[in-house]
Amino acid sequence: MKELNELLPSDQFFRSHRSYFVNISYAQKVINERSGHGIIVLKTQQHVPVSKSKRQKAHAMLGQYSQALGTNGGC
């Protein structure tokens, strides 16, 4: 996973959890959970877990991507 993390462009891919990478262009929104974790909902309606420590960054990355496209990412 470490090598993959170094190979993927950091402005397009986000490591949301130990075993998950998300292509931000396929992310629709980030949902906060009571436990402190989060879920990224993809355009395919699949759910990808987000660790507590990466939840804030997930919101920021999706917000930046949405702004670049001129859309509302649902954050």
**Angle 14-17-21 from CA coordinates, rounded to 5°:** 35
CA torsion angle for 62, 67, 70, 73 (degrees, to 10)? 30
Taking domain 2-69, whether its CATH number is 2.40.50.1020 is answered by: yes
Tokens (6 digits) for 36: 């402190």
- What is the rounded average pLDDT of the residues 8-25? 94
* pLDDT tens profile 27-60: 999 999 999 999 999 999 999 999 999 999 999 9
Confidence of residue 74 (pLDDT cuts 50, 70, 90): low
Residue 50, classed as helix, strand or coil, is strand
pTM assigned to the model: 0.81
